[in-house]
Structure 1
Amino acid sequence: MFQNTSLVLVLLAVFATATHAQLVGESCAPAACGNLTIKYPFWLRGRQPAYCGHPTFAVTCDDDDDPTGATASPPPSLNGSYLRVLAIHYGNSSVVAFHANLVESSACRATRFNMSSSLALSLLAVSRANAGLLFSANCSRTPPTGSLPVNCTGFSGGGEWFLSLNRMYDPGGPARAVDTVGCQYSVVPVLPWSELRSARDYAGLVRRGFLLEWTSVPVDCAACNASGGECRYDAGAMGFGCSCPGGRLQPATCAEKSSARSSRNE
């Protein structure tokens, strides 16, 4: 029994050492994907080790398929989803993205779309700073003021829908409940400064994207970098790690004294 226990402890020590070596091994310097700079909590799938960012923030750069740049590549995808990334703002923890399924089809597809469900397993949330395109049909009251008719005959759940723009995005519907009394409706987020003059504006508004925010990654990566370290995602600890000179892995910055985690793994 004692021999078995000793063997387990040895194997755990070997695994911890190997994991530590992987985390402090290859560099996680910021990488380029088109006009985007990819850095923690994001990482480039296929170009960087998975520890360079949070698991749900993997970015796939489609220009890998044509390194010559001879053909135009679509914007990078987020974590293998239909979300295409247009910009990342690290200063305020936000992303501008569009949903490929909404761009590549008619406006009628949006009448059956639920943005919240497409982000169900993500640490990103649709920002309430967005405006919202409201699709409504079969309303018991007059559609919202300024609504534009959209003919969806022949489309599942079709018929005549009305399209309007709300200045405040709310996934549960517009702030004025009267706008959706007795209605079928769907809300698609768009950038806050969007303008809707005709139903033909739909495609352009959706292609310009909407704001997403991340708030569930409470890490000061800048502090780690400023202390001479590189940011890592420690899958073993399911959290952030700061890879420091000399092979140390610290919980936050390289300025800290050697922690239990680093001394255990060294």
Structure 2
Amino acid sequence: MDLTTPFSSLSLLFFISLQIHFPVRASGYFSPFQECAPFVCGYIRISYPFRHIRQPRYCGYPGYELDCDGFNPILYMVSQKYQVIHMDRSVQILVVARSDLSDSICLETYNETTLDLNLFNYTSNNLNSTLIYNCNSWPTLPSYYRFSCPESHFGYFILCVNLSNLLPKRCSSIVHVPISKSEPIGLPPASAGIDFGDNISDILNKGFEITWIANTSLCEDCAISGGICGYDWTRKEFNCFCRDAAYPATCHRTPIPTSVPSMPPVPAIIPSSMYAYSHLTCGF
């Protein structure tokens, strides 16, 4: 029996499949054009102003670095880790959720929700919510949802309440976490003695909205001309990486003289973080 033909056919199909999933880079292209190509994480396509943390820093605007856990892009910001659930490039909005709350609302460290306000801001489509931990007791009120943690007695999840005069000495820790108004809250009426931990976790895992501040207006024209968007850290200006060189805006015009992107040895932006609690609303 002749096995040569079937083996050759299988080999050809295997080679073709490799080309589909692992495209071979054409020789002679300008290296940043290859290195800064968009990447896909889960169902989200990532491109400028963001870059993968393993890409060169000139592939993204300063401060907009993402990792990928195989299912969701991961945003690291102000010593916190956020899962990127959705990205809407048309309005520059991310839906993100705190990674430390993804598996359980029982935190080991009670860190506030923080943003680098040089890079991102909250949208108006969020509501205030608060987690209060290590409580010995608290009177049951209509908007107070009780949960329990093995190492910290019990706590409460509270929607849209000013706690400046209500936080009792019987509770030791407080964490603010925005939630999106676009998602139904879906909490049943609060009731004494019921643990709402699973319900609260579902709400927090739906995330909240933030908007990125970086100006990406030049990127669309660059992409239409066949280029890949990037950033020159020395000139502090947008770069359009094309097959042959770097251009200021679009391909096929006058290239940037050096055509070699540069990178500083250390990040150029120092984060300034704060929780913009007063900027959120309580409308339902």
When normalised by structure 1's length, the TM-score is 0.65
For residue 67 of structure 2, what is the amino acid of its counterpart?
T
Tell me which residue corresponds to 1:134: 130
Q: CA deviation at 1:228?
A: 3.4
Q: Which residue of 2 aligns with 1:42?
A: 50
How far does residue 37 in structure 1 lie from its aligned partner after superposition?
Answer: 0.6
Q: Within 2, Cα distance between the matches of 1:162 and 1:136?
A: 5
SS of 2:107's partner is: helix
In the aligned structure 2, how far is the partner of 1:96 from the partner of 1:109? 21
1:194 and 2:202 aligned: no
Partner of 1:114: 112
- Compute the displacement of 1:79 (Å): 4.0
Q: Would you say 1:181 and 2:189 are equivalent positions?
A: no
Q: How does 1:43-82 map to 2 (within 5 A)?
A: 43-46=51-54, 48-63=55-70, 74-79=71-76, 82=81
- Residue pair 1:96, 1:209 contacting (<8 A) in 2 also: yes
Higher RCO, Cα 8 Å, sep 6+: 2
SS class of match (1:109): coil
Deviations along 1:135-170, whole A, 9 cap, x unmatched? Answer: 3588xx977642223345842xxx55432333xxxx
Deviation at 1:225, TM superposition (A): 1.4
1:164 aligned to 141, 158, 161, which one? Answer: 158
Go from structure 1 to structure 2 and tell me whether the alpha carbon gap of 1:30 and 1:218 turns closer, same or farther (over 3 Å shift): closer
How far did residue 196 of structure 1 move? 4.3
Secondary structure in structure 2 of the residue aligned to 1:112: coil
**Greater CA deviation, 124-133 or 93-102?**
124-133
Query: 3-state DSSP class of the match of 2:83?
Result: strand
- For this pair of structures, how many residues does the alignment match? 212
SS at match of 1:41: coil
1: CA distance, partners of 2:158 / 2:166: 17
Q: What are the Cα deviations for residues 49-69 of structure 1, in whole angstroms up to 9, with x where unaligned?
A: 332222422222233xxxxxx
Q: Identity over aligned residues, as a percent? A: 24
Alignment equivalent of 2:240, drawn from 215, 227, 242: 242
**Mapped contact 2:245–2:259 kept (Cα < 8 A):** no
Matched residues in 2 for 1:111 and 1:183: separation? 19
1:123 equivalent in alignment to 2:131 = no
Consecutive aligned runs of 4 or more in structure 1 exceeding 4 Å deviation: 141-144, 151-154
Q: Which runs of 5+ in 1 are unaligned?
A: 1-20, 64-73, 167-173
The 8 Å contact of residues 165 and 196 in structure 1, kept in 2 or not, is answered as no
SS of the aligned residue for 1:56 comes to coil
Q: Kindly indicate whether the alpha-carbon contact (under 8 Å) linking 1:143 and 1:162 is maintained by their aligned counterparts in 2.
A: no
- Taking structure 1 as reference, are residues 248 and 30 closer, same or farther at Cα in structure 2, changes over 3 Å only? closer
Structure 2 Cα separation of the partners of residues 222 and 154 of structure 1: 51
Are the equivalent residues in 1 in contact too, given 2:129–2:158 (CA < 8 A)? yes
Q: Does 1:146 align with 2:114?
A: no
TM value normalised by structure 2: 0.61
Matched-pair contact (CA < 8 Å) for 1:243–1:249: yes
